[in-house]
Structure 1
Amino acid sequence: MSEAAPRQVAVRALCDFTAREGDLDHRFTPAPSAREGIVGHALVAGRRGEGFEAELPLSGTFEGVTVSGRADGYDPAANRLEEIKTHRGRLDRMADNQRALHWAQVSVYGALLCAERGLASVTLALVYLDVASGRETVLTREASAAELEAFFATQCRRFLAWAEQEAAHRARRDAALGALAFPHPDFRPGQRDLAESVYKAASTGRCLLAQAPTGIGKTLGTLFPLLKAMPRRGLDRVAFLTMKTPGRRLALDALAALGAEGSDDAERPDAERSDSGVPDAGSPDADLSDAGSPYATPRALRVLELTAREKACEYPGRACHGEACPLAAGFYDRLPAARRAAVARGFLDRAALRAVAGEHGVCPYYLGQELARWCDVIVGDVNHWFDDSALLHGLARANGWRTGLLVDEAHNLVERARGMYSAELDQRRLARLRREAPGALKGPLGRLSRQWQSLVREAGMSEAGEPGRPAYRVLDGLPDGMAAALSGVASAITEHLGEHPEQASLALQELLFEALAFTRLAERFGDHSLCDLTRHGRGRAVLGLRNLVPADFLAPRFAATHAAVLFSATLSPAHYHRDLLGLPDATVWREVASPFAAEQLEVRIRADISTRLRDREASLAPIVAELAEQFRRRPGHYLAFFSSFAYLEAALARLRETHPEIPVRTQTRGMREEARDAFLAEFTPGGASIGFAVLGGAFAEGIDLPGDRLVGAFIATLGLPPADPFNEALKARLAARFGRGDDYAYHIPGLIKVVQAAGRVIRGPDDRGTVVLMDDRFARCEVRQRLPAWWGPPCGTRR
């Protein structure tokens, strides 16, 4: 948008900016889900008369600011304009800043309506719908057109200076990105192909699945072309989403390399223009290396790192309201100054955001939530777009953003998304809570407890199942009695904590959120999920609603993007990710050729070893012999991957016993981040050791040990999930839906883990290393065909 173009803002965004004041107040007020909000709005609209106009589009302009949105409803016969809000619990517990925001919204809509229809006055109504009871509470007031016009003008004037700044920022940003050049003399092999594919996806508004090998610079190779596309394709935001913290750091480093963290251009020496020969951003086949500085104008690109609340909180254990936390007291009064300072700073990683928040005495987590509205590139976890109540997806919908999405290590999205749309309830924890709960909650908890007992009895489950294994049953769905009991518990806890917020213990809140999650997922239950019951012994059963096919939940999220790029070294086969993630039919598959040669990586298959559960004990001797022989042949740092901690510990004990001279280190159960960092720090150049790790764990992907920091990997497993009752149920469901049960439940996920682990070895063009695959099944033709083609035919196969 040019500086001369009208400034555009949504009604909600305008009021969020101008109408909040006083304390941040996040006392225990469980909000309805987005789905419950949609259902609630429809319920209220359905109760109105035939002439009721729902979802009424309105817009108006004041001194160059265009404000638009959809009013929830207008009744022409009664001349009443309604703003509908769904809630749980007592209304008198609602924070003052929330009520003020609601009145501001309906007042702005009232001004727009009066101007559009020439009304002299209108009745404004706030309609609060309790989603638990369906009861409406309506607050009304009469307002004249002149009064509303004055209110509208006041809000617009408050916003106008910010709007002018934002329009100037957008123009400056787009000019800087138009002149952005690649920050290195040339692209790495394969990196340019990836960048061109990303640019074409952004240009044509499509989804892209890009499989690109480890080590070519995928982070920079995806960010650079999408930033180049922003001004020419009218993108409002770019979201770089990761699975783990290290991925965020790589993205922030790449953005810094592109100049987002830079100082003034005038202070920089002129840099040589890249002559890498990549074609311009004017068409899908255009050149990505425009003339210009390799650095974006300072602060022309605003970058924000979003972190989890528990990591950002300065006062852990305190409630989020002004009476408990000094950073919540007067938050909205200090927010404008903090917001101005933050956008002026521009590059807001976790440390920078914390520094700004500290200078202005506001909560860093909620400052970050606010700045997500005003930053151009947001770096954060995948949950910020794909979770049921995702912040970025909600903002994009509310503000009509054209969003470009980059999803790093996208092979993990299937499992991550399954977790987002799954829930569990533990009978033993419920029983403990029932004993400790306040008297008012004992009745609802008792009814839920009786439903548990009935559920276990009707499922015909034994006390413990087979020796050493729990009993397991797949149910047809969440029984009606259990759903009603959970809903009753949720309502009772909500009402009780509304009256007694000081009794909001962590255990009670967790039960409430679990109950709400269960009831929400039960409403959307279908062939994408299953309901199961696992009995672990007397008095303990775990009830689960588990998502199996995330596609049903994720498809609308992909549809809400202008372009989405999912990239990883292991996205093959494409149909697996298309089917399970719900990608659009027009999604493009692109495999970037590896820059590495087969001569760089010796791949051996030990087909004389079986790592099946029944053969584990017999496998230990040949596995340990292989580790010791390879270590003797080429001393250096190695990683050895196993299917479980039990298997790892047995192999480690055998190696220590037979070859005590070999230095070893090991991943441990529940390893904390500091311990993981220390584990990796010991892989020093010129050193020699064997590190033991679990396949699919923290050290099997997302780590970078280039050169001789890692010279080889041993993989003593095919990576297959265990053939337990749950995975067999998953296999049956995937077979019924896609016709690919074994592949989708076992083989593809297993080999993705294997290839990811092996990918730790060759990280650059000069690396040389060895991968030893230890299981007879690796010698099968159908398995070898799914290994990376650049590995070449595995050599040294032993039988």
Structure 2
Amino acid sequence: MKDKIIIKESVRGIIEYILKTGSIDDRYMGSTRALEGTIAHQKLQSSNEKAYSNYQKEVKLQQAFEIENVTLIVDGRADGIIIEDSDIYIEEIKSTMKSLVLIDEDYNELHWAQAKFYAYIYAIQNNIELINIRLSYFNIETEEVKSFNKSFSKNDLENFVLSIISEYKKWVILKSNLLTERNESIRKLQFPFESYRKGQKELAVACFNTIKEKAVLFAQAPTGIGKTISTIFPAVKSLGEDRGERIVYLTAKTITRTVAEEAVNRLKNNKLSCRSITVTAKEKICFKDKSSCNPEQCEYAVNYYDKVNDVILSMLKDEDSFTREKIEEYARKEKLCPFELSLDLSLWCDLIICDYNYAFDPRARLKRFFEEDVNKNILLVDEGHNLVDRARNMFSAEIYKERILKSSKLIKGKAPNLYKSLNSINRYLIDIRKEVQESESTSIYKNEEYKDLYKLLRMFLSECDEYLIKATNTEGYDEIRELYFEIRAFISISELYSKEYVTLVEINKNDVKVKLFCVNPSKNLSKIVKGSYSTTIFSATLTPINYYIDLLGGDEKSYRMKLPSPFKKENLKIYGHPLNMRFKQRENNIDNVCNLIYKFKGEEEGNYMVFLPSYLYLNQVYSRYIELFGEENTICQGEVLIETEREEFLNNFKEDTKIIAFCVIGGVFSEGIDLPGRRLIGSVIVGVGFPKISNEGDIIRDYYDEKGFDYAYIYPGINKVMQAAGRVIRTETDKGRILLIDDRYYTLKYRSLLPKEWELTK
């Protein structure tokens, strides 16, 4: 007899798949809803713990259903279970922005359906004939609660649940067939190359064992090892051994997403059967000039939920690689929102390629993967060095006085209460500005919150709700709506405020910026990093590795590995010149820098990149260089480049040209670009990549105390240097040369941070 296939689904997932209907409408839903919903649950649960002597929160419930040769395991968490005397209540909590006056007990069928499913599981497992459901709505702004109670017999609940399972049957059979086919192909799957490169097998084995142990791995794997296939291949093999349910490959840049797609396609060409998807940002994939996700302004939102399941069924039968182009093709043909289609399709995929923010950013996180069943994810985080700054941005928020003042002028005479609310916020920000001015500075920071400001911002949100409903298509509406979501984001981030945060205030003339700055993102990241089935964070530059473990959610239990370069040491020559390139001496050394660049590129003909520490210094050096040596064969990076301009810039680098390109370190050309062979034979790196001295940098320095200067400036700087240097040698046959101009490279500190195989020649 054929072994039973086990498929796991969430209660919420099944209910929404079967019962959700109608159109997409996000007019009153911002990108902060996931975070706000979690906070709403926690507040009401905390209140219930005090109110009831017998109260349990987040109760895990699970039930198996037999469907042909499949065991469907349905699980979820009941928000709360209240036991009062002989009465048992299964509580479902929903957060809302709507006035509770507008919500009655028939407000949303799906909410009752989810609670009924939980109640059924609890009733049959505890042999209860009659059970109560409490549906509680929590208003995020007012923190008011409105609850509805209903009683159900076990028999009624059973009829309801079995009708849902019956509807879901065809999807279960489809999933089981796809799973069987996938696992059979994985068992036969071989590494897609004849042999492993140096270091490649070690990385693949480490990744596989990390997944096996449900652990976290930080891996520094230099260019040339083949990091992408060395992490995806063992992750796919792990899926076939029933470890995790999906692979989520996270990247920071479009080019690394492309490399991941190519690696997956290589495995598919090697007979792997699986479904993969690339999630493209909403603003990039949207068919409309302006993203307005509601049926009145977008034809792709109309009746979306009535159509999408049939389209997904068709796509799953006909396709296995859901690229941006493929998703757009189906979405146009079927008149569906391409972004929402990609999210719904992703539920059926074994491998998801997407940006960091879909996993980590509380305002953009995919709730279906990173809150409800995060422990089913095998997480692969590419170019992990980029996650430090990205994470700080994700968990920070700011508001500006000028935006408040501008909005109050737009609203004057149209909505008196809203105008009054904005004026109150503006006055409070004026008081904050005075506080900064009295310190005789342009900025201050503190470990305290402006809680009275939060109250005023919440009042604005409450008043704005009514305005957004009534004032559609009026002058200034879009600006107010944008401010509304900015303030909601600010309030949402305020709920995460802890000792890892500071409040930073900066003034610029009359404007005031209040920023909730996440100095240490580790605590917030660790919920995903450690909560996943397994996480591997990798990059060519994770030096020093303890710095990244400290900041990216790791701990002393995290595995770590540092692999040497697979390329011959003699293929890369490292030269240095001990010039003082500290900020105060830079301008005095412009001529010296120009002469060193000219001499270095003259020693061997070919294409070179010069990396300068800032755009200002880049322009100063470039202007002087062409004064001294002429403009022929020189190009200079502009400060703002669109995609086509980047491509044009890189197209200058050919095998037989002698281009010298002036770029900024840490910019678009210092990482993620590939110019193999003689397309790039050398780089000149001026300075030590030091980030610009800033308030945020100084706050990081103060926060980390003895390690502060290293964490704020030295380590981020050396990472930029290593990335820029990594452009030169891309393949085993490449040969190249690097010139480091700065006397700090000769200090013990910097020598310890550079690769051991680098021998600095003067």
Q: Does 1:526 align with 2:498?
A: yes
Q: Deviations over 1:198-229 (max 9, x none)?
A: 11211222111111111221111111111112
Residues of 1 paired with 2:365 and 2:52: CA distance? 34
1:92 is displaced (CA, Å) by 7.9
Equivalent residue for 1:199?
208
1:362 aligns with 2:336: yes
> Contact conserved, 2:500 with 2:521, CA < 8 A, in 1?
yes
The match for 1:765 is 732
Aligned residue number for residue 668 of structure 1: 638
The aligned counterpart of 1:513 is: 485
Partner of residue 565 from structure 2, selected from 594, 601, 617: 594
TM-score (structure 1 length as normaliser): 0.89
8 A Cα contact 1:596 1:790, kept in partner: no
Name the CA shift for 1:84/1:499 in 2 (closer, same or farther; >3 Å).
farther
Contact between 1:29 and 1:89, CA under 8 Å: does it hold in 2? no
Distance 1:74 1:557 in 2: 26
Q: Residue by residue, what CA displacement relative to the aligned partner does 1:363-387 show, whole Å, maximum 9, x if unpaired? A: 1100111122221110011111111
1:226 corresponds to which residue?
235
1:118 CA drift (Å): 4.4
Matched residue of 1:740: which SS?
A: helix
1:458 and 2:435 aligned: yes
Conserved 8 A contact 1:29-1:498: no
State the match for 2:45 in structure 1: 42
Pair 1:323-2:296 in alignment: yes
SS in 1 for 2:621: helix
Q: Deviations over 1:299-327 (max 9, x none)?
A: x2110101110011112325212222111
CA contact (8 A) 1:555 1:584 kept: no
Give the C-alpha shift of residue 505 in structure 1.
Answer: 3.5
* Aligned counterpart for 1:313 among listed residues 274, 286, 301: 286
| 1:206/1:562 contact within 8 Å kept | yes
What is the CA–CA distance in structure 2 between the aligned matches of 1:772 and 1:207, rounded to whole Å? 36
Instruction: Assess, with a 3 A threshold, how the Cα gap between structure 1 residues 213 and 60 changes in structure 2: closer, same or farther.
Output: closer
For residues 139 and 766 of structure 1, do their structure 2 counterparts lie closer, same or farther at Cα, with a shift above 3 Å needed? same
Superposed counterparts of 1:335-354, under 5 Å: 335-344=308-317, 345-354=319-328
Correspondent of 1:295 among 271, 275, 289? 271
Q: Which residue of 1 aligns with 2:119?
A: 110
Q: Is the 8 A contact 2:519 2:699 kept in 1?
A: no
SS at match of 1:790: coil
Aligned residues of 1:490 and 1:516 also touching (Cα < 8 A): yes
- How far residue 583 of structure 1 moved from its aligned partner, in angstroms, is 0.3
The answer as to whether partners of 1:428 and 1:541 remain within 8 angstroms in 2 is yes
Which residue in 2 is equivalent to 1:794?
760
Contact 2:304 2:337 in 1 (8 A): yes
Report the CA distance between 1:394 and its aligned residue: 4.5
Query: How far apart, CA to CA, are the structure 1 residues paired with 2:437 and 2:160?
Result: 65
Equivalent of 1:535 in 480, 504, 507: 507
Q: Compute the displacement of 1:123 (Å).
A: 4.2
Answering whether residue 239 of structure 2 is matched by residue 236 of structure 1, we say no
The answer on 1:334 being equivalent to 2:307 is: yes
The within-5 A match list for 1:621-640 is 621-640=591-610
- Tell me which of 617, 631, 652 is aligned to 2:622: 652
Contact 2:374 2:531 in 1 (8 A): no
Q: Which residue of 2 aligns with 1:603?
A: 574
Alignment correspondent of 1:387: 361
**Separation in 2, partners of 1:399, 1:426:** 37
Using the alignment, how far apart are the partners of 2:204 and 2:488 within structure 1? 43
Q: Alpha-carbon deviation of 1:593?
A: 1.8
Tell me whether 702-711 or 581-590 shows the greater mean CA deviation: 581-590
> 1:133, CA displacement in angstroms?
1.5
Number of corresponding residues: 747
Bigger mean CA offset, 449-458 vs 114-123? 114-123
What is the deviation of 1:137?
2.2
Aligned-pair Cα RMSD in Å: 2.4
2:448 corresponds to? 477
- For residues 94 and 321 of structure 1, what CA distance do their matches in structure 2 show? 21
Q: Percentage identity across aligned positions? A: 28
Identify the match of residue 419 of structure 1 among 385, 389, 393. 393
- Superposed, 1:131-142 pairs within 5 Å as 131-142=140-151
Rounded Cα–Cα distance in structure 1 between residues aligned with 2:478 and 2:50:
38
Q: Does 1:583 align with 2:554?
A: yes
Q: Structure 1 residue 563: deviation in Å? A: 1.5
The Cα of 1:606 is off from its aligned counterpart by 1.3
Indicate how the Cα distance of structure 1 residues 415 and 98 shifts in structure 2: closer, same or farther if over 3 A, else same.
farther
Taking the aligned partners of 1:785 and 1:73, their CA distance within structure 2 comes to 54
Q: How does 1:88-107 map to 2 (within 5 A)?
A: 88-90=97-99, 99-107=108-116
CA apart distance, 1:435:
0.7
Structure 1 segment 525-564 matched on structure 2, within 5 A: 525-537=497-509, 539-564=510-535
Cα offsets for 1:448-491 (capped at 9, x unmatched): 1111111111233489x5xxxxx121134222222222222222
* Residues 677/483 of structure 1: CA separation in 2 closer, same or farther (3 Å cut): same
In the aligned structure 1, how far is the partner of 2:351 from the partner of 2:391?
23
User: For residues 472 and 111 of structure 1, do their structure 2 counterparts lie closer, same or farther at Cα, with a shift above 3 Å needed?
Assistant: same
User: Is 397-406 or 224-233 further displaced after alignment?
Assistant: 397-406
Distance 1:23 1:517, change over 3 A: closer
- Offset at 1:187? 1.7
Query: Cα offset for 1:75?
Result: 4.2
The equivalent of 2:376 in structure 1 is 402
Q: 2:79 aligns with which of 72, 79, 99?
A: 72
The structure 2 residue matched to 1:253, chosen from 251, 257, 262, is: 262
How far is the alpha carbon of 1:587 from its aligned partner? 0.9
- Once the two structures are superposed, residues 427-462 of structure 1 have per-residue CA deviations (whole angstroms, 9 ceiling, x without a partner) of 122211111124231111111111111111123348
User: Cα–Cα, structure 1 residues 56 and 762, in superposed 2: closer, same or farther, change >3 Å?
Assistant: closer
Structure 1 residues 60 and 758 mapped into 2: Cα distance closer, same or farther (>3 Å)? closer
Secondary structure of the structure 2 residue equivalent to 1:258: helix
Q: CA deviation at 1:57?
A: 3.9
CA distance in 2, matches of 1:755, 1:79: 61
Report the alpha carbon displacement of residue 20 of structure 1 after superposing the two structures with TM. 0.6
User: Quick one: structure 1 residues 478 and 44, their matched pair in 2 at CA, closer, same or farther if it must change by over 3 Å?
Assistant: closer
User: For structure 1, which segment, 435-444 or 409-418, has the greater mean C-alpha deviation from structure 2 after superposition?
Assistant: 435-444
Which residue does 2:425 correspond to in 1? 448
What is the match of residue 373 of structure 1?
347
- Rounded Cα–Cα distance in structure 2 between residues aligned with 1:23 and 1:616: 59
Match of 1:184 in 2: 193
Quick one: structure 1 residues 405 and 79, their matched pair in 2 at CA, closer, same or farther if it must change by over 3 Å? Answer: closer
Bigger shift: 63-72 or 663-672? 63-72
Structure 1 spans left out of the alignment, 5+ residues: 263-293, 466-470
Out of 171, 174, 192, the residue aligned to residue 165 of structure 1 is 174
C-alpha distance in 2, partners of 1:95/1:777? 69
Structure 1 contact 40–86 (Cα < 8 Å) conserved: no
8 Å contact 1:331–1:363 — kept in the other structure?
A: yes
SS in structure 2 of the partner of residue 474 of structure 1? strand
With over 3 angstroms needed to count, the CA separation of the structure-2 counterparts of 1:696 and 1:461, relative to structure 1, is: farther
Q: What is the CA distance between 1:59 and its match in structure 2? A: 3.6
How far off is 1:714 after superposition? 0.8
Deviation of 1:191 after TM superposition, in Å, equals 1.5
Alignment deviations for residues 759-794 of structure 1 (CA, whole Å, 9 cap, x no partner): 100111111111111112122232122111222x21
Structure 2's unaligned 5+ residue stretches are: none
**756-765 vs 224-233, which moves further:** 224-233
Q: 1:729 to 1:391 in 2, by over 3 A?
A: closer
In the alignment, what sits opposite 1:266? none
Quote the Cα distance in structure 2 between the aligned partners of 1:181 and 1:207.
25
Deviation larger for 588-597 or 47-56: 47-56
Q: Distance in 2 between matches of 1:237 and 1:96?
A: 37
Using a 3 Å threshold, how does the CA distance of structure 1 residues 60 and 188 change in structure 2: closer, same or farther?
A: closer
Determine the C-alpha separation between the residues in 2 that align with 1:98 and 1:303. Answer: 36
Secondary structure in 2 matching 1:125: strand
